[in-house]
Structure 1
C-alpha cells in the first residue's frame, strides 16, 4: 500500500523549510512546531538585506510586539492553508467581526507609533482581493462594508479588495498607521506620496504569482491564434465548421513584443522564447539597461530592446503587455498603435485595463484590418461587467477574463505566505523586504 499523499500544509512547510531560520531581536525565538516530524517553522531569512533604506527601526525590547504575540485579523478569505500558516506565525488570527472601516481606523488614533517609539501595537492594511481565486466571489468588500476586528484586537491585518483605494481621506482615519502591505505587485490604488510623508511603510509581493500570470498569458495567446473561443461558439450555435475555412496561426517562431520587464514579463518572455522559439522584442524605457542581459542576476534572456513603441509594434505577431499603470502608460495602446499592428497579429493585456484604450480596441477588432484578436485579463472598470467594456464582449475575436492571472492555488498560497512573512518581519523589527516607500 502506498504512503498517503502529504497534506497541502505539509507541502507548504516543505517548500518553505529552507527559509525558516531566525531569532527575533527582542530575545524571542520565533519557532513554530508544525510538521509531524517536529520541524520548526520560523520567520523568513534576513540574509542579504543590507540596504539601510529598506529597514525600519527596531522596537525597544521592553515594548516590542513580536509576531508570535500579535493578533492578526483577516477579513478577506485567504486560501485555507495560508490561514493555517498565519495561525502558526502569529499569536492569534481573528476572522470577520462587526466593525466598519471608519470605526476601526479611528481606533488606531490612540495606538502608539512604531517608528522607533514605544508601540503597544500596530495596525497594518493589506489591500488585496482574494475573490479573484474563487474563494470569496460572493463578497463585496467596499470601504463602507468592510468588516474589521473588534476593539479588543491588539494588531490587525486588513485585506481590502482591488476596488478599494487608500487615498488621503482614508489614511486620515488612521493617523498611527505604520504599514500597508499589497498582496500582489500593483500599488496604483495607494497614495504613495501621502504614505511617504507619513512614514508609512508600503510593501508589495513581486514575483510570487509571476509563473501563473505568464501561464495565462501563453494560454490566451494560443487561444487567440487558434481561434478557440470563436470556433467553440460556432459549434455551440449548431454551425457547420470545416477546418479549411477556419485556419488559425501557429505560435512557433513568431515575433513577440513584451511591454515591461518585471517578473511576469520575464516569465512570459521565457515561455515564448524557450517553449516556442519566438524572437523577443522589448519596450521598457524605465528598466535598467542591464535587465535580461548577462549582467542580470537572473541571467540573460535573448531579446531586442526598442527605444520606442512605434519602432517595435509593426514587427510583431504578438504584443503582450506587462507594465504597471502610471501616467506615462495610461492609454499607451490607442488608435495609432493598434492601427500600426501587423495584419493577423494579436494583443494580450496582462497589465492594467487603462493601459489600453478599450474603445479604440473594440473598433480595431471590428475592422480586422490590423490586429486579428485580443485578450485581456484586466479592464478599466473592475470587476468587469459585459455592459461596461465598450462592446468588447460582443466580439468573437475578443477573450476576456476577470483578473485571474495570479489566481491559482499555488500562486495564492505563495503570495499570502510572502505577505504574512513580511508582516511578521515588520512586527519583529527586522528589515522590511520589498518596500515600495
Structure 2
C-alpha cells in the first residue's frame, strides 16, 4: 500500500523528493481509471490531484487512512469539501503558485482578441493581403473588468495597468477598506460593472451562486465589441449564450480555457463551430513549465508537513 497516491501529472523533481521518504504511487493516468484510483487509495494517507480527479465521498470512503488531499492548483470544485471536513481530511491548494501564469494568459488573450490580426496566416499563405480587415484595437485606454478580486485577479490588474488600461472589479468578499481598491475601481454589482468594461476577465470559483453567472442577460449588458476571458471555471459562463453573442457580432471575441465539460467533447464543442473570434485552450492557463515547478513544490511541501505532523 502506498502512503501517497498522485493521480495526475506533477513535476518530476517534486515526485522524486517525496519518493525518498514515502512509499509513493505516481500514475498520471489514474485519473481516467476510477476503479483503480479507489483501489490505489485504500491504504494511502495522502492523495495529490489536479482538477480532473473527482475526490468524491466514494473515493474518500475507499481511503480510511487519508490525512490530506494535495491540490496541484487552486480550484476546489472537484473535491467534496464537506465530506473532507467531516472526515477530518485537510485540503491543501497551491494558493499563489500559478498566479503569474494565469495573469499572463489573461493579458495575452486580451491583446490577441482586441488586435485580431494574429490568425491571418492561412490568408497570407493563400496570397491574400487583408490589411484593412485586420485593423484591430489597442489595449491602452481600454477598461479591464475583473469578476473576483483575489490573488490572480490582482496580478492581472498590475499587468493591465502597465499597458495603460484602467481596471475595475466586483467582489463582495473583498472589504471596502482593502488596499486593492486604491488602484482598482470598485463596483457593488456585476450589473454595474458589465457596461463599463472593454475586457471582462473571470476569477471566481464555481458555486451554486456563480454557475451561469455570465449568461445571455449579462452578455447583453456588455459594450458592443467587448471581449470575455474565462480562466476560472467552466459553468461560470453560459457557453451557448456566449457562442450566440459572438455569432451575432455583439461580443468582439472570447477566450475560454475552462469548460462545463472537461475534456471538451465533440458534441459540447459543436456550439462553437464556425467562430473565428474565439480562442479555446485545454485548461492550461495556470500550467507553464515554471508554474508547474512552483505548484508541485508547494504541494509536496504541504503534503509532507501534513504527513509528518500526523506520523
TM-score over 0.5 (shorter chain) = yes
Q: Is the 8 A contact 1:330 1:355 kept in 2?
A: yes
Residue 325 of structure 1: aligned partner: 206
Following the alignment from structure 2 to structure 1, what is the Cα–Cα distance between the partners of residues 183 and 7?
44
Answering whether residue 165 of structure 2 is matched by residue 285 of structure 1, we say: no
Change in CA separation of 1:400 and 1:301 when aligned onto 2, cut-off 3 Å:
farther
Please give the root-mean-square deviation of Cα atoms over the aligned residues, in Å.
Answer: 2.5
Change in CA separation of 1:320 and 1:276 when aligned onto 2, cut-off 3 Å:
same
Map 1:34-433 → 2, pairs under 5 A: 71-87=3-19, 90-96=21-27, 141-146=32-37, 155-160=44-49, 162-235=51-124, 238=126, 240-273=128-161, 275-293=162-180, 302-368=183-249, 370-429=250-309
Following the alignment from structure 1 to structure 2, what is the Cα–Cα distance between the partners of residues 76 and 268?
27
SS of 2:75's equivalent in the other structure is: coil
Deviation string 1:241-280 (CA, Å, 9 cap, x unpaired) is 331222100011211100111221111111101x212111
Bigger mean CA deviation after superposition, 167-176 or 326-335: 167-176
TM-score by length of 1: 0.65
SS of 1:375's equivalent in the other structure is: strand
Gaps of 5+ in 1: 1-69, 97-135, 294-299, 431-437
Q: Is the 8 A contact 1:358 1:389 kept in 2?
A: no
Deviation string 1:182-218 (CA, Å, 9 cap, x unpaired) is 1211111222122222222222111100000111111
TM-score by length of 2: 0.90
Larger Rg: 1
Q: Is the 8 A contact 1:141 1:161 kept in 2?
A: no
Bigger mean CA deviation after superposition, 346-355 or 379-388: 379-388
SS of 1:374's equivalent in the other structure is: strand
Following the alignment from structure 1 to structure 2, what is the Cα–Cα distance between the partners of residues 379 and 416?
24
SS of 1:213's equivalent in the other structure is: helix
Deviation string 1:23-65 (CA, Å, 9 cap, x unpaired) is xxxxxxxxxxxxxxxxxxxxxxxxxxxxxxxxxxxxxxxxxxx
Following the alignment from structure 1 to structure 2, what is the Cα–Cα distance between the partners of residues 396 and 350?
19
SS of 1:412's equivalent in the other structure is: helix
Shift of residue 398 of structure 1? Answer: 0.7
Aligned residues: 309
Following the alignment from structure 2 to structure 1, what is the Cα–Cα distance between the partners of residues 22 and 78?
30
Shift of residue 160 of structure 1? Answer: 4.1
Q: Is the 8 A contact 1:362 1:390 kept in 2?
A: no
Following the alignment from structure 1 to structure 2, what is the Cα–Cα distance between the partners of residues 87 and 426?
15
- Looking at secondary structure, tell me which structure has more helix per residue: 2
SS of 1:391's equivalent in the other structure is: helix
Residue 126 of structure 1: aligned partner: none
Change in CA separation of 1:338 and 1:139 when aligned onto 2, cut-off 3 Å:
same
Q: Is the 8 A contact 1:358 1:390 kept in 2?
A: no
Q: Is the 8 A contact 1:270 1:301 kept in 2?
A: no
Change in CA separation of 1:420 and 1:208 when aligned onto 2, cut-off 3 Å:
same
Shift of residue 413 of structure 1? Answer: 0.9
Shift of residue 73 of structure 1? Answer: 4.0
Gaps of 5+ in 2: none
Change in CA separation of 1:95 and 1:314 when aligned onto 2, cut-off 3 Å:
closer
